[in-house]
Amino acid sequence: MFPTTRLRRLRATPVLRALVAETRLSPDDFIYPVFIDARLSDPEEIGSMPGQFRWPVGAIGAEATRLHQLGLRSMLLFGLPEWKDETGSSSWHDDGVVQRAVAAIKEAVPSMLVVTDVCLCEYTTHGHCGVLQGEKVLNDPTLDLLARQAISHVRAGADIVAPSDMMDGRVAVLRGALDREGYADTPILSYAAKYASAFYGPFREAAESAPAFGDRRSYQMDVRNAREALREVDEDLHEGADMVMVKPALPYLDVIRRVRDRVDVPVVAYNVSGEYSMLKAAGAAGMLDEVGAVAETLTAIKRAGADIIVTYHAPDVLRWLQEGRIS
């Protein structure tokens, strides 16, 4: 018998394909990461991330307005402070770079959802995500500093805090501190399964946060492990995380899928700087079609199970969706 099933029937026209599509990109899916630099008076393009800029505090309100007009609803903030020290204390000052940027964005676009990255590496002279004893990154003494930073972000107007340091127990400490300070309604998006990845290279240039010695493998996850990611996710949910993140995204689609199948909270995937720069470089060199490759990548991340994608491609994708170049 010639087959009665012909899968090509449902692929015949664009309308039919759109009707039966299982995965769709929507403007609501994206969180756009931005870098704010306290030392700048004009925006500066980031060499390792073509099309991305470090923004002065004074210009971020206008940029948020432009992004909002494109349909962007959520941003994730990283700060480059005026000065650094051993404990990263410039990260919890009420007039710190992220705190001022949050206020500026909220003033320009009150409805913009502002997520702040909570970590010490951009603020410490040694570039590690926690405080040191010799060359050891200490877990427990770091927790209170992260909590101070998170509270000052929320006091400045942040809607969600996102700890990315990978210290054990930080979600519980942040939750307790937020609740005590009167911020019981502020959600925590934890970077739950964050791998020690080579794909953060361009970010570290952008944020000037490369470790001065050693690497992050004593706190970020081993690339070889997937079951361990589930333990990280379980632990963060147990401590009170509202959403969990897998990071990076593209080389970890299996982890995204396993996390999605295990938990019922929103799953976020971080399409990191190295993933972005690879496609930008290949596109600029004419090696592949940037629009198609970006759309395919982000669709694959959603298909793997992510509800939300943190991506530097967000403004481009919003424009391409509006223009009907991708769907």
Nearer to ligand PBG by C-beta: 11 or 217? 217
CB 90 within 8 A of CB 81: yes
Q: Which stretch binds ligand PBG (CB under 6 A): 85-93, 203-211, 225-233, 319-327?
A: 203-211
**Residue from 37, 117, 239, 290 in contact with ligand PBG (CB under 6 A):** 117
Catalytic residue among 84, 106, 136, 247: 247
Contact between 204 and ligand PBG (CB under 6 A)?
yes
Q: Judged by CB under 6 A, which of 36, 177, 272, 317 binds ligand PBG?
A: 272
Residue 22 Cβ vs ligand PBG, minimum distance, rounded to whole Å:
28
Catalytic residue, from 84, 106, 136, 194: name it.
194
Give 175 or 216: the residue with its C-beta nearer to ligand PBG: 216
Q: How far is CA 22 from CA 140, 180, 241, in A?
A: 44, 43, 29
Instruction: Please confirm, yes or no, whether 106 is among the known catalytic residues.
Output: no
Query: Which C-beta is closer to ligand PBG: that of 204 or that of 262?
Result: 204
271 Cβ partners below 8 Å, 6+ apart?
248, 249, 250, 297, 298, 301, 309, 310, 311, 312, 313
Closer CB to ligand PBG, 119 or 158, in the complex: 119
Least CB distance to ligand PBG at residue 284 (A): 19
Of 228, 268, 264, 265, residue with least CA distance to 247: 268
136 in catalytic set: no
If you ran DSSP here, which 8-state letter would residue 172 be given? H
| Distance of closest approach, residue 14 Cβ to ligand PBG, in angstroms | 34
Residues 6+ apart with CB under 8 A from 173: 143, 144, 146, 147
| Closest separation in Å from C-beta 198 to ligand PBG | 10
Among 38, 119, 145, 221, binds ligand PBG (CB under 6 A): 119
Residue 156 or 310 with smaller CB distance to ligand PBG: 310
Nearest approach in angstroms of CB 203 to ligand PBG is: 3
Q: Is 163 exposed, middle or buried (0-12, 13-18, 19+ CB in 10 A)?
A: buried
- Residue of 64, 121, 241, 256 interacting with ligand PBG (CB under 6 A): 121
Residue 291 CA to residue 55 CA, distance in Å, equals 25
Burial (CB < 10 A; 0-12, 13-18, 19+), residue 176, is middle
CA dihedral 160, 165, 171, 177 (to 10 degrees): -70
166 contact partners, CB below 8 Å, separation of at least 6: 129, 191, 194, 216, 219, 220, 221
The DSSP H or E segment spanning 201 is helix 201-207
The answer to whether 203 contacts ligand PBG (rule: CB under 6 A) is yes
Cβ 191 vs Cβ 166: under 8 Å: yes
Taking CB under 6 A as the criterion, which residues in 139-168 touch ligand PBG? Answer: 164
Active site residues: 194, 247
Which residues would be at the binding site for ligand PBG (CB under 6 A)? 117, 119, 121, 129, 164, 200, 203-204, 209, 216, 272-273
